[in-house]
Structure 1
Amino acid sequence: MAPFARNRLLWGTVSCTFFLAVNSLYSSSDDVIELTPTNFNREVIQSDSLWLIEFYAPWCGHCQRLTPEWKKAATALKGVVKMGAVDADKHQSLGGQYGVKGFPTIKIFGANKNKAEDYQGGRTSEAIVDGALSALRSLVKDRLSGRGGGYSSGKQSGQDSGGSGRKDVIDLTDDTFDKNVLNSDDVWLVEFYAPWCGHCKNLEPEWASAASEVKEQTKGKVKLAAVDATVNQALASRYGIRWISYHQDLPESEKTLVDYDGGRTRVDIVVVALICFQRMHPPPELLEIISEGCL
């Protein structure tokens, strides 16, 4: 019996060593943030960002196949939506807290971080990105209507009623554009309009309302402006009299103009503005944690 018992002990040791070698599907070099009971509350619950979080087990074949897609989606959404991963086999208490019964389970943590939603979309990187942007749009709509969390919603009634007017839209001219926009560290969304244009008149209240909302949510770091293209013809000619989103988060030699192709409602404009704002702030540096005992 002794040799048999010794063989069983040796096999148990080899099995344990192999398990540790595949203990994590992600590393600090990925754009996926690894979450544990130690940092989950700080990173997710106390965050104003939208999170997509995968609860996985390292030995799960479905999880292993999802990993490269999850990484690709995280890279594509970097600075826009946070992507996390929890080893729910190792941190069973965290998985149990959110009702994880199988792997992989994907949860969306939106406005109400204490009530996560199940992700029901596909498992390709494209489907994950689409699902994330759809959730982001819903989050912004909730905030605009005063139902969302994270940002102040007590000032929405004035904007909804049109009481804010154009007070937060910055009027730009041939003489002031370069000084205000090109020499700024902020992000600018600039409308080129004609006073007689019907489409411009329809947009004006949406643009004004979005300007107030964006100013509050980004603390003035994203600005909405307007240029009368019939008066400031030199400036309009320079940019082809088009809707543009000016990204000022690049070095002087790399400043670029990007055509705005989004919708013309307040919600559409705010979503684009928030995406631009989040891209200005790179995600925090990830520290590689060797063990939970190091914290």
Structure 2
Amino acid sequence: MRLLLLGVLGCSLVLSVRAFYSASDDVVELSSSNFNKEVLQSDSLWLIEFYAPWCGHCQHLTPDWKKAATALKGIVKVGAVDADQHKSLGGQYGVNGFPTIKIFGANKNKPEDYQGARSSQAIVDGAMNLLRTLVKDRMSGKSGSSGSSGSKQQNGGGSKKDVVELTDDNFDKMVLEGDGVWLVEFFAPWCGHCKSLEPEWAAAASAVNEQTKGKVRLGAMDATVHQAVSGRYGIRGFPTIKIFRKGEEPEDYQGGRTRGDIIQKALDMFSDHAAPPELLEILNKDILTKTCEDSQLCVIGFLPHILDTGAAGRNDYLKVMMQMAEKYKKKTWGWLWLEAGAQMELEASLGIGGFGYPAMAAINSRKMKFALLRGSFSETGIHEFLRELSVGRGSTSTLGGGALPKIHTVEPWDGKDGQLPVEEDYDFSDVDLDDTLDKIEL
């Protein structure tokens, strides 16, 4: 009996930890099953928190989030997603740390990050400012419209233009001979399940095309018309989804059929076959700015002077960084390196120098936040550092000056050992040393 009570108590404790919000709260609990209808097909302005039950910062935010939701009730929608449970939703919107707050405004396909303070008053003030902007845009005739009223959207989804229409004539050239990865839906016009899938497929196609830069494509084929290809692959039921990779046998898609599930599968396939990001030396401002602005995080290694390590030592450090870039390539982070002392303003803004070299910093240029590697510059040390950051546990600071510092243009490393400065040779043949010594004695 005691064990039973302890088991019940244990379950209730687990539930109490996971249940941040209840039906009595004004926060709308969102999931993969209701997100499309509640948010994407809505004309309302939404503030949505993506959280994890184990996240201390999330637990700290909860009372303020509830209070803000109550204050905004009937004015602005306030929701929450357990991204630990609904990973496809978090992955769809690039959520890597917790809590992450997203604003779903006029264009539901392109939510923005909430950058304000996280007190209930700041959240309410930020929401009202967003609402005023939304209303003003509508009054002026701007149509970034959300929901089904958007001219470029369908049922809150993406545009059908991003779904490639495949036929018996173009299938082999586009899919089998192309370099990308394809998800192909074989459908029948009379199929009810196909009609239900259509807006999810369209929305996923738009997101996947943008996020993979066209490396993963979504296509659709009317199997009742184009029977040569559909017969080749034994299509009998509708909709049937198959995955095609160049040079490989097609495989059946086994995942879920919401846009989030489809996007997550596509991104997984993209990252599995993508080359690791390039490790670039910071030679000028453009390299740093573009890499950091195009990535959620840019990871920068500050390597010792070439005279301290030689080419072999430096290559060892670069090899560690490239291995970690491969390990974390699904994150699509930027990877950079530079020689210690080459960019003193950058080192000063990050507080580099007190820890010795090699050192490492990870910068979020959108929030102007950074974190420093405190452990060893090794696979184990860097992995632990980046893993903590990716789940929102790392310690961060504000970038000095609130902006990326001045970057000097430098010459690239030539891959060779360093050379000591050449000392000038002095010719003393015409100097009378005896006469000089006599003068010194006098």
TM-score relative to the length of structure 1:
0.50
Query: Could you give the per-residue CA deviations for residues 131-159 of structure 1, whole angstroms, max 9, x where no partner exists?
Result: 1122223334xx89xxxxxxxxxxxxxxx
More off after superposition, 64-73 vs 234-243: 234-243
Structure 1 residue 179: deviation in Å?
A: 5.2
Partner residue in 1 for 2:264: 130
Alignment size in residue pairs: 189
SS in 2 for 1:100: coil
Matched, 1:178 2:285: yes
What residue identity is the alignment partner of 1:243? A
Distance 2:284 2:204 in 1: 37
Contact kept, 8 Å, 1:192 with 1:229, in 2: the verdict is: no
Structure 2 residue aligned with 1:227: 338
| CA pair 238-107 structure 1, distance change in 2 beyond 3 A | farther
Contact 2:183/2:218 (<8 A) preserved: yes
Contact between 2:181 and 2:246, CA under 8 Å: does it hold in 1? yes
Cα distance in 1 for partners of 2:187, 2:364 equals 39
C-alpha distance in 2 between matches for 1:123 and 1:195: 47
Q: CA deviation at 1:228?
A: 4.3
After the TM superposition, which residues 30-69 of structure 1 pair with which residues of structure 2 at under 5 Å, given as runs?
30-69=161-200
Task: Determine which structure has greater relative contact order: mean sequence separation of CA pairs < 8 Å that are 6+ residues apart, divided by chain length.
Answer: 1
300, 316, 321: which one aligns with 1:207: 321
Paired with 1:88 and 1:106, the residues of 2 have a C-alpha distance of 12
Rg comparison, structure with higher value: 2
SS at match of 2:321: helix
- Work out which of the residue numbers 188, 192, 204 in structure 1 matches 2:300: 192
**Residue identity matched to 1:119:** Y
Letter in 2 for 1:177: N
Report the identity percentage.
Answer: 34
Residues 161-203 of structure 1 show CA distances to partners (whole Å, capped at 9, x for unaligned) of xxxxxxx85432xxx321555589xx7995422448xxx9997
User: What is the aligned partner in structure 2 of residue 89 from structure 1?
Assistant: 224
* Contact preservation (8 Å) 2:350, 2:370: no
Partners of 1:37 and 1:94 within 8 A in 2: yes
Listed as ranges, the gaps of 5+ residues in structure 2 are 1-157, 305-313, 327-332, 352-359, 372-378, 387-442
Equivalent of 2:243 in 108, 116, 123: 108
Task: Output one character per residue of 1:105-145: Cα deviation in whole Å (capped at 9) or x when no partner.
Answer: 001112435x11100001100111111122223334xx89x
Q: Which amino acid aligns with 1:70?
A: W
**CA deviation after TM superposition for structure 1 residue 37, in Å:** 1.2
SS at match of 2:218: strand
* Cα distance in 2 for residues equivalent to 1:260 and 1:87: 50
AA aligned opposite 2:319: P
How much is the aligned-residue C-alpha RMSD, in angstroms? Answer: 4.5
SS in 2 for 1:107: strand
Q: Name the aligned partner's letter for residue 209 of structure 2.
A: K
Distance 1:39 1:228 in 2: 51
What is the identity, as a one-letter code, of the residue corresponding to 2:362? W
Between the aligned partners of 2:203 and 2:334, the Cα distance in structure 1 is 31
TM-score, structure 2 normalization: 0.35
Task: Please state whether the residue corresponding to 2:179 is helix, strand or coil.
Answer: coil
User: CA 1:243/1:223 → structure 2, altered by over 3 Å: closer, same or farther?
Assistant: closer
Counterpart secondary structure, 1:133: helix
Q: What is the CA–CA distance in structure 2 between the aligned matches of 1:56 and 1:258, rounded to whole Å?
A: 47
Deviation of 1:43 after TM superposition, in Å, equals 1.3
Distance 1:29 1:121, change over 3 A: closer
